[in-house]
């Protein structure tokens, strides 16, 4: 019996030591120490042994039980440690490695400046309005006092859509300016009205550093009782001074647009030299900034507003041009060219 026990002890220890994973080790443990394990069965049988061998075998089997339990615990720990070490080896992180640069995207300079423009006008009580880029002839031309036969249509040569014209709205056209939103907004909200309309416009241009077929404008419109060009001067001086974060002066020159009367061009004092004269302003001290004027009575009528009660002014400037001035960009084509080397500079 004693010998049987010692053999069991030997083989059990051998099996424990050679176990390579926790599953095998557990099976060995069950085979010897489980409910029906080999050693458990011997321990149960001790009570039936002859009196003289009972204490000896009883003691020995208990000692073996304790020894095996310890061997199991030790081996268990050893395998666990090995598995941790193995996984660490497989998934290690080099804390000293220099990281990979994480590229953040950002808004396009056009969008950024558009947001700034919107904020400034919003602060002066203007609403930001929107209109379709594919416009109808009626809003883009006719309602703005530019009938089909008018030579002003040549000033804004554009892209017509190859669709059957609507009887009332005319042909579909990629809008040549943001001015069609004037009448659209008048019809929708009536007077009084204070809006700006930032948006994309299109023209059939021969492309060069100053001309693009697609660019951005900002329209402005203020209609109320007793509105004069003095309000326009005040609003624009305030807007430009806020945007350029320095005092900017404005001046009017006569200009022609069929949808305003009188029409004018607004110049701003040169932001580089402050009006003294430099290369940027060609030593004039002034930079051409936008077209504007008092809204023509025909346009108010087209918008359902009585020109005998209300009057107002409108302006339109090139957001694209403003950005070129602001950042010193000398070729318009880079703005929508999709070259990341340009965009990433902002």
The stretch among 14-22, 38-46, 103-111, 286-294 that binds ligand PHE (CB under 6 A) is 286-294
Separation of alpha carbons 325 and 273, rounded Å: 13
**Token pair for 317:** 């400037």
Indicate the Cα dihedral angle 63, 65, 69, 75, nearest 10°.
90
Angular region, 291: left φ>0, alpha ψ -120 to 50, beta rest? beta
The whole-angstrom distance between residue 137's C-alpha and the CA centroid of its chain comes to 34
**145 scored as a contact of ligand PHE (CB under 6 A):** no
- Minimum separation from the CB atom of position 95 to ligand PHE (A): 59
- Looking at the Cβ atoms of 75 and 321, the one nearer to ligand PHE is 321
CB under 6 A: which stretch of 42-50, 116-124, 235-243, 287-295 binds ligand PHE? 287-295
Closest approach, Cβ 255 to ligand PHE, in A, equals 8
Work out whether 293 is an interface residue with ligand PHE (CB under 6 A). Answer: yes
Q: Which of 114, 140, 179, 185 binds ligand PHE (CB under 6 A)?
A: 179
C-beta nearest to ligand PHE: residue: 316
Least CB distance from residue 187 to ligand PHE, whole Å?
A: 17
* Site for ligand PHE contains 175 (CB under 6 A): no
Q: Report the Cα 262 to chain-centroid distance in Å.
A: 42
- Which regions of 206-249 does DSSP assign to beta strands (E)? 214-224
- Kindly report the number of other CB atoms within 10 A of residue 243's CB atom: 17
Q: Is 322 in the site for ligand PHE (CB under 6 A)?
A: no
Is residue 177 a contact residue for ligand PHE (CB under 6 A)?
yes
How many residues line the site for ligand PHE (CB under 6 A)?
A: 11
Question: Per rule CB under 6 A, is residue 291 in the interface with ligand PHE?
Answer: yes
Q: Which is nearer to ligand PHE, 220 or 275 (CB)?
A: 220
Which range touches ligand PHE (CB under 6 A), out of 39-47, 76-84, 114-122, 285-293?
Answer: 285-293
Q: Which of 25, 316, 319, 324 binds ligand PHE (CB under 6 A)?
A: 316
Local structure of 317: helix, strand or coil: strand
Tell me the CA distances in angstroms from 314 to 53, 81, 111, 165, 268, one per residue in order: 117, 79, 23, 29, 17
Regarding 131 and contact with ligand PHE (CB under 6 A), the answer is no
Pick from 183, 292, 322, 323 the residue near ligand PHE by CB under 6 A.
292
Residue numbers 186-245 binding ligand PHE by CB under 6 A: 219
Q: Report, in Å, the least distance between residue 125 CB and ligand PHE.
A: 19
What distance lies between CA 277 and its chain's CA centroid? 40
Half-sphere exposure of 86 (CA within 13 A, CB side): 7
Is 271 among the residues that bind ligand PHE (CB under 6 A)?
no
Decide whether 187 or 272 has the Cβ nearer to ligand PHE. 187
Q: How many residues make up the chain in this entry? A: 346
Phi, psi of 246 (to 5 degrees): -160, 165
* Rounded Cα–Cα distance for residues 17 and 66 (Å): 16
Asked if the bond preceding 274 is cis, omega within 30° of 0, the reply is: no
User: Which of 196, 198, 217 has its CA nearest to residue 318?
Assistant: 217
Sign for the pseudo-dihedral over CA of 328, 331, 335, 340: negative
CB closer to ligand PHE out of 170 and 318: 318
Q: Pick the closer one to ligand PHE by CB: 46 or 260.
A: 260
Question: CB under 6 A: which stretch of 73-81, 246-254, 276-284, 289-297 binds ligand PHE?
Answer: 289-297
End-to-end CA distance of the chain: 89
**Contact status: 260 vs ligand PHE (CB under 6 A):** yes
Residues that bind ligand PHE (CB under 6 A): 177, 179, 219, 257, 260, 291-293, 314-316
């Amino acid at each position: 019996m004693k010998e049987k026990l010692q053999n069991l002890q030997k083989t059990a220890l051998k099996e424990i030591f050679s176990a390579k994973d926790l599953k095998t080790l557990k099976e060995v443990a069950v085979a010897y120490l489980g409910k029906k394990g080999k050693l458990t069965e011997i321990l149960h049988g001790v009570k039936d042994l002859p009196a003289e061998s009972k204490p000896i075998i009883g003691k020995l089997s208990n000692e073996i039980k304790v020894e095996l339990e310890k061997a199991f615990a030790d081996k268990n720990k050893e395998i666990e440690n090995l598995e941790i070490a193995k996984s660490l080896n497989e998934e290690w992180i080099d804390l000293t490695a220099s990281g990979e640069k994480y590229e953040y995207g950002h808004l396009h300079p056009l969008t950024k400046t558009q947001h700034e423009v919107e904020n400034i006008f919003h602060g002066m009580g203007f609403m930001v309005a929107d209109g379709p880029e594919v416009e109808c002839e009626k809003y883009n031309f006719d309602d703005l006092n530019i009938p089909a036969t008018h030579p002003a249509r040549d000033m804004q040569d554009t892209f017509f859509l190859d669709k059957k014209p609507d009887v009332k709205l005319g042909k579909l056209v990629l809008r040549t300016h943001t001015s069609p939103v004037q009448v659209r907004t008048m019809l929708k909200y009536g007077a009084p009205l204070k809006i700006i309309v930032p948006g994309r416009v299109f023209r059939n241009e021969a492309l060069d550093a100053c001309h693009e077929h697609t660019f951005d404008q900002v329209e402005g419109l203020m209609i109320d009782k007793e509105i004069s060009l003095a309000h326009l001067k005040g609003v624009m001086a305030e807007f430009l001074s806020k945007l350029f974060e320095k005092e900017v002066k404005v001046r009017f020159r006569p200009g022609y647009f069929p949808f305003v009367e009188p029409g004018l061009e607004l110049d701003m004092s040169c932001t580089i030299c402050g009006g003294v004269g430099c290369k940027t302003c060609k030593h004039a001290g002034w930079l051409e900034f936008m077209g504007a004027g008092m809204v023509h009575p025909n346009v108010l009528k087209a918008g359902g507003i009585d020109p005998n009660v209300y009057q107002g002014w409108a302006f339109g400037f090139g957001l694209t041009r403003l950005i070129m001035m602001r950042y010193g960009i000398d070729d318009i084509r880079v703005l929508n060219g999709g070259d990341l080397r340009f965009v990433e500079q902002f």
